[in-house]
């Protein structure tokens, strides 16, 4: 057992540049994927929620546009969420991106963003459904449009309530970005494969790899925990409110 750990440490020391390089790529993929995916999710989730509410003075054209948005976003979510990212990556990389001269990392970021976006859209939509209907009624009653209401009132609150699920997505992305190694992106898993192949110390390499992933995901969860606390404390902390203190 001790020898095994010793061999792992040796590996880590000898190949630390490769590992660090891999970590860098993995972090970029996970962060870009989660951030861009969140943006996509906010837009798609918001659009989906709006396209489902019919308004009394919608013109025929608006109704058609809403229907199209509803169908297109539904197809996007169903297809992207319903097929493996690894297969999407393979297909798009060898079928298009490589031939078009794309940088592998850029293509990888795009694919992981589009993937995360599909999940985020549903996360945001459920966040939107969790916001009291009165919030949008209040906004509509002073004359804000459906999209203004969504953007200024509903989405910010839905986003805040969705933070735990968004952190989940970040952690999933740190781990699952490893499937993009099929696109020749030299991320952590790709590097580990190379090292395992060269040294033939397969168990040691992959155990080390697990530990590295675990460290990264734990670190991400911890950091996001701090961010979440900050956000929740800044606004609407009922019990620290002076109103309560004065009133009771």
Partner 1 sequence: MEHVIEIKHLAKSFGTQKVLNDINFVVDKGEVVTIIGQSGSGKSTMLRCINLLEVPDAGEIYVNGKSIYEGNINKHRSEVGMVFQSFNLFDNKTVLENCVLGQVKVLKRNKHEAIEIAHKYLKKVGMDEFADKPSTQLSGGQKQRVAIARSLCMDCQVILFDEPTSALDPITVDEVLNVMKKLAEEGLTMVVVTHEMAFAKDVSDRVVFMENGVIVEEGRPEQLFVNPQTDSLRRFLGRYLNQQTA
Query: Whole-number minimum distance, CB 192 to partner 1, in Å?
Result: 44
Of the candidates 24, 172, 179, 191, the residue with the CA atom closest to the CA atom of residue 92: 179
If the CB atoms of residues 111 and 166 are measured against partner 1, the closer one turns out to be: 166
Query: Whole-number minimum distance, CB 156 to partner 1, in Å?
Result: 5
Q: Contact residues for partner 1 (CB under 8 A)?
A: 55-57, 132, 134-135, 137-145, 148, 152-153, 156-157, 160, 235-238, 241-244, 247
- 50 Cβ neighbours under 8 A, 6+ residues apart: 66, 146, 147, 150
The interaxial angle of helices 16-52 and 188-199, nearest 10 deg, is 150
Rounded to whole angstroms, the Cα distance separating 23 from 216 reads 9
Query: Whole-number minimum distance, CB 235 to partner 1, in Å?
Result: 5
If the CB atoms of residues 98 and 135 are measured against partner 1, the closer one turns out to be: 135
Query: Whole-number minimum distance, CB 56 to partner 1, in Å?
Result: 5
Rounded to whole angstroms, the Cα distance separating 151 from 236 reads 19
**What is the per-residue DSSP string for 156-211?**
HHHHHHTHHHHHHHHHHHHHHGGGGGGGT---HHHHHHHHHHHH--HHHHHHHHHH
* 8 A C-beta contact, residue 217 and residue 174: yes
If the CB atoms of residues 222 and 238 are measured against partner 1, the closer one turns out to be: 238
If the CB atoms of residues 36 and 131 are measured against partner 1, the closer one turns out to be: 131
If the CB atoms of residues 17 and 59 are measured against partner 1, the closer one turns out to be: 59
If the CB atoms of residues 3 and 248 are measured against partner 1, the closer one turns out to be: 248
- 102 Cβ neighbours under 8 A, 6+ residues apart: none
Query: Whole-number minimum distance, CB 209 to partner 1, in Å?
Result: 42
Query: Whole-number minimum distance, CB 244 to partner 1, in Å?
Result: 8
Backbone phi, then psi, for 186, in 5-degree steps? -80, 55
């Amino acid at each position: 057992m001790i020898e095994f750990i010793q061999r792992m440490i040796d590996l880590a020391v000898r190949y630390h540049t490769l590992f660090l390089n891999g970590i860098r790529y993995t972090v970029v993929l996970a962060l870009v994927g989660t951030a861009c995916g969140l943006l996509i999710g906010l837009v798609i989730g918001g659009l989906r929620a709006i396209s489902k509410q019919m308004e009394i003075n919608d013109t025929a054209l608006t109704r058609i546009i809403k229907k199209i948005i509803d169908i297109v976003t539904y197809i996007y979510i169903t297809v992207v969420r319903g097929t493996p990212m690894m297969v999407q990556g393979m297909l798009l990389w060898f079928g298009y991106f490589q031939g078009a001269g794309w940088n592998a990392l850029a293509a990888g970021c795009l694919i992981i963003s589009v993937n995360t976006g599909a999940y985020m859209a549903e996360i945001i939509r459920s966040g939107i459904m969790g916001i009291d209907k009165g919030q949008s009624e209040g906004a509509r009653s002073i004359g804000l449009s459906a999209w203004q209401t969504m953007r200024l009132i509903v989405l910010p609150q839905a986003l805040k309530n969705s933070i735990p699920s968004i952190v989940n997505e970040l952690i999933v992305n740190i781990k699952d970005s490893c499937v993009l190694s099929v696109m020749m992106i030299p991320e952590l898993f790709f590097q580990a494969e190379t090292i395992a192949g060269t040294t033939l110390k397969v168990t040691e390499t992959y155990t080390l790899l697990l530990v590295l992933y675990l460290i990264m995901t734990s670190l991400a969860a911890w950091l996001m925990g701090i961010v979440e606390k900050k956000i929740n404390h800044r606004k609407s902390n009922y019990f620290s409110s002076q109103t309560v203190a004065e009133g009771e």
